[in-house]
Amino acid sequence: MRTIDWVDGAIELVDQTLLPDKCLVLRIHTVHELVDAIRRLAVRGAPALGVAGALGVVLADGDPAQIAELRSARPTAVNLAWGVDQAVAHLHEGREAVLAAALRVRDDDIAACRAMGERGADLLEGDRLRIMTVCNSGGLAAVERGTALGVVQTLHERGRLAEVLVLETRPLLQGARLTTWELARMEAPHRLIADSAGPYLLAKGEVDAVLIGADRIAANGDTANKIGSYALALGAERAGVPFVVVAPESTIDSRTPTGDHIEIEDRGADEIVAVRGVRLAPEGTRALNPAFDVTPHDLITAIVTERRVIRP
């Protein structure tokens, strides 16, 4: 199953807000529909957003205002703007050339995810590995297979995976809703844990490696990823456990020198004070909701891309 694709003149994408209860494919015909899908996280994950950005330029049909709106729909994930730019570079050649460029972005992502899976699995030592991960970095975050969870899938296919410990990933529960759904589909052994249990289980020796994806990697290796990643990096360093970032080359932003320069999206109070429409906190409770954090490069063991392994 492809998370996002171009089918019969429109974008088709899995509405991830409905998972795991329902797997619904949306057909997107306009940039307005696509921006809405991006902002409400119907489509999410850096590689998938890159493909969405490129395909969205086809829908924009050269309209600069629509392209600008699409490019800025989510500020932290660099792949969205990168994907838009890949297609925009061909506007002067006509719509078919733009579509061809967008489809190359899609196809390159599929190849990159498979390559990252192989490279990441080769990097990790051991035959029965216990992996910890946060958020969702599988096929739902890309077109197929994914980044960090793509490594997990490769380990599982090689018979080298003992178990995956999945952080639930508050506030939107991407780990609980999406990653467990993907792991169940690939029949990989896994257990779900509370976010705050991650560092403790690292300290107890229950984990052999932490694998995460990335939404933006600064030039010095500082990495923005789902909130909670930094806590795992601190726990992994204290426990002597490898902390590995898996992301395509397109997520490395050479124009951003360090993590201090990465804009961190705040998604507002509603996601914190309620869960899936059910209010938890008293009416009027204020909240702070950074969607991402930044892990300094000196806490990262390796960054695995489709081309290389980087030691920050």
Q: What is the 3-state secondary structure (H, E, C) of the chain?
A: CCCEEEECCEEEEECCCCCCCCCCEEEECCHHHHHHHHHCCCCCCHHHHHHHHHHHHHHHCCCHHHHHHHHCCCCCCHHHHHHHHHHHCCHHHCHHHHHHHHHHHHHHHHHHHHHHHHHHHHHCCCCCEEEEECCCCEHHHCCCCECHHHHHHHHHHCCCEEEEEEECCCCCCHHHHHHHHHHHHCCCCEEEECHHHHHHHHHCCCCCEEEECCCEEECCCCEEEECCHHHHHHHHHHHCCCEEEECCHHHEECCCCCHHHCCCCECCCHHHHEECCEECCCCCCCCCCECEEEECHHHCCEEECCCCEECC
From 129, 151, 131, select the one nearest 141 (Cα to Cα): 151
Is the model's pLDDT at 1 over the cut of 90?
no
Topology of the domain comprising 4-111: Four Helix Bundle (Hemerythrin (Met), subunit A) (1.20.120)
Could you confirm whether 36 is annotated as catalytic?
no
The pLDDT of residue 77 is 85
Residues annotated within a binding site = 44-46, 74, 174, 225-226
Measure the CA–CA gap between 72 and 45, rounded to whole angstroms.
15
CATH code given to domain 125-310 = 3.40.50.10470
Give the percent of the chain with pLDDT over 70.
100
Average pLDDT over residues 199-209: 98
Domain boundaries, the chain: 4-111, 125-310
Is the model's pLDDT at 220 over the cut of 90?
yes
Measure the CA–CA gap between 82 and 214, rounded to whole angstroms.
14
79-133 residue pLDDT tens: 999 999 999 999 999 999 999 999 999 999 999 999 999 999 999 999 999 999 9
| pLDDT band at 26; cut points 50, 70, 90 | very high
| pLDDT band at 234; cut points 50, 70, 90 | very high
Q: From the candidates 215, 222, 253, 293, which is the catalytic residue?
A: 215
Give the percent of the chain with pLDDT over 90.
98
| pLDDT band at 277; cut points 50, 70, 90 | confident
236-272 residue pLDDT tens: 999 999 999 999 999 999 999 999 999 999 999 999 9
Is the model's pLDDT at 76 over the cut of 90?
no
123-161 residue pLDDT tens: 999 999 999 999 999 999 999 999 999 999 999 999 999
Residues annotated within a binding site for substrate = 44-46, 74, 174, 225-226
The pLDDT of residue 134 is 98
Mean pLDDT of the chain: 97
Measure the CA–CA gap between 142 and 249, rounded to whole angstroms.
14
- What is the Cα Rg of the chain in Å? 19
Cβ–Cβ contacts within 10 Å for residue 53, how many?
29
